[in-house]
Amino acid sequence: MTFRLSRRTAVPLSTVAVLSLALTACGGGTTKESTAGDATAAPSSSTSAAADPNAPLKEGLKIAYLPKQLNNPYTDVEVGGGKVAVGELKGEYKLVGPNDASASSQVSYINTLIQQQQDVIVVAANDPNAVCPSLNQARKAGIKVVTFDSDAAKTCRDAFINQATTQGIGESLVKMASELAGGSGEIAVLSATPNATNQNSWIEVMKTELAKPANAKLKLVKIAYGNDDDQKSFTEAQGLLQTYPNLKVIVSPTTVGIAAASRYVSSSNYKGKVAITGLGLPNQMRKFVKDGTVKKFALWNPADIGYLAAYAGGALASGQITGAEGEKFKAGKLGDYTVGASGEIVLGPPTEFTAANIDQFDF
């Protein structure tokens, strides 16, 4: 497993507040997946042909990106990195996807990508199981499937690019919430969609962390879902504050949710009384950090996830790796990576953003 700092802008390491995370669960992956809907399971990567680390990287690979949804600023950054990497690989880049992150919204796109005989599909699953039959059809047709950002069930992809360890992200969300709540009081989660593999796996870790004696005075009163829709997230944040007058912190592990909640709080009487934290894009959150609504939040560089996914896809399609644990490949400017347990490839630790460092980031 290789850890890399997920920054795009070159700033001295000393100026970056890298979260100190207990990076213990590299193979942790998702917790909400099952093998349901997996009747067409393709053979697992570990039983495929042996990897040849010296195989030349193929040129002209057709690498298609299917993010959770197109109209999300996070997606733009993510696939932007992918496009750069596909260019470096001398491949053919394609981007398709739905405008909402609902569970079954991606299936028709996968079927079209199969017909188009793409070499690699890079997908952020809106539901771990809904995409499985089509993804396994793709794999049977010889297409390599790389999940990124939000995993599918492990039986229907060759590798998963995780932005950071699931354990580390969940722990950091609780740590930030605890700090902002002063160690006690009510907190609420404003998540993305109820089916999102990534958010659900982080929330599971949060629950485990909150059950520990050290967090006994923190009470999770509600998990609300804004569906990664700006307006719904705004309304849900408003509802949380009205329903729970003693709420101290809203933790939003989605860039859409944290921005909407911050916008609501920044222009309400709750400003300065209720803290917002979670996972956000520095460019979206800067104004809320500057106006004092938000003290701290975290993220990785989404461009690096898209970039790493292209190189992993290229390595898979070229036979350099099969997705089995321990295989190594090169990911351009990001350096060397090793496939972890269950085909998981971890980008690196997230970065914590505060007023002190936010201006050093431009994404």
Q: Please state the closest distance from residue 150 (CB atom) to ligand RAM, in A.
A: 5
Give whichever of 298 and 316 is closer to ligand RAM, judged by the CB atom.
Answer: 298
Q: Please state the closest distance from residue 171 (CB atom) to ligand RAM, in A.
A: 16
Q: Please state the closest distance from residue 28 (CB atom) to ligand RAM, in A.
A: 16
Among 256, 276, 308, 316, binds ligand RAM (CB under 6 A): 256
Among 107, 143, 190, 192, binds ligand RAM (CB under 6 A): 192
Region binding ligand RAM by CB under 6 A among candidate stretches 27-35, 102-110, 248-256, 267-275 = 248-256
Contact 93, 142 (CB under 8 A): no
Nearest to residue 363, comparing CAs of 305, 291, 277? 305
- Sign for the pseudo-dihedral over CA of 170, 333, 72, 363: positive
Torsion angle in degrees (nearest 10) through CA of 219, 221, 226, 228: 20
Using Cβ positions, the residue closest to ligand RAM within the complex turns out to be: 74
Give whichever of 61 and 363 is closer to ligand RAM, judged by the CB atom.
Answer: 363
Give whichever of 255 and 320 is closer to ligand RAM, judged by the CB atom.
Answer: 255
Q: Is 74 in the site for ligand RAM (CB under 6 A)?
A: yes
Give whichever of 343 and 350 is closer to ligand RAM, judged by the CB atom.
Answer: 350
First to last CA, the chain: 26
Region binding ligand RAM by CB under 6 A among candidate stretches 48-56, 191-199, 214-222, 355-363 = 191-199
Q: Please state the closest distance from residue 194 (CB atom) to ligand RAM, in A.
A: 12
HEC assignment per residue over the chain: CCCCCCCCCCCCHHHCCECCCCCCCCCCCCCCCCCCCCCCCCCCHHHCCCCCCCCCCCCCCEEEEECCCCCCHHHHHHHHHHHHHHHHCCCEEEECCCCCCCCCCCHHHHHHHHHCCCCEEEECCCCCCCCHHHHHHHHHCCCEEEEECCCCCHHHCCEEEECCCHHHHHHHHHHHHHHHHCCCEEEEEEECCCCCHHHHHHHHHHHHHHCCHHHCCEEEEEEEECCCCHHHHHHHHHHHHHHCCCEEEEEECCHHHHHHHHHHHHCCCCCCCCEEEEECCHHHHHHHHHCCCCCCEEECCHHHHHHHHHHHHHHHHCCCCCCCCCCEEECHHHCEEECCHHHEEECCCCEEECCCCHHHCCC
Among 7, 68, 83, 94, binds ligand RAM (CB under 6 A): 68
Q: Please state the closest distance from residue 233 (CB atom) to ligand RAM, in A.
A: 10
Looking only at residues 116 through 175 of this chain, which bind ligand RAM when binding is defined by CB under 6 A?
124, 149-150
Q: Tell me, by CB under 6 A, how many residues bind ligand RAM.
A: 14
Looking only at residues 265 through 324 of this chain, which bind ligand RAM when binding is defined by CB under 6 A?
279
Give whichever of 116 and 231 is closer to ligand RAM, judged by the CB atom.
Answer: 231
Q: Please state the closest distance from residue 55 (CB atom) to ligand RAM, in A.
A: 32
Q: Is 102 in the site for ligand RAM (CB under 6 A)?
A: no
Cα–Cα dist 284/153, whole Å: 31
Q: Please state the closest distance from residue 46 (CB atom) to ligand RAM, in A.
A: 27
Give whichever of 195 and 318 is closer to ligand RAM, judged by the CB atom.
Answer: 195
Give whichever of 74 and 307 is closer to ligand RAM, judged by the CB atom.
Answer: 74
Q: Is 198 in the site for ligand RAM (CB under 6 A)?
A: yes
Among 255, 293, 342, 351, binds ligand RAM (CB under 6 A): 255
Torsion angle in degrees (nearest 10) through CA of 83, 88, 89, 91: 50
Region binding ligand RAM by CB under 6 A among candidate stretches 4-12, 67-75, 283-291, 335-343 = 67-75
Chain residues binding ligand RAM by CB under 6 A are 68, 72, 74, 124, 149-150, 192, 196, 198, 228, 254-256, 279
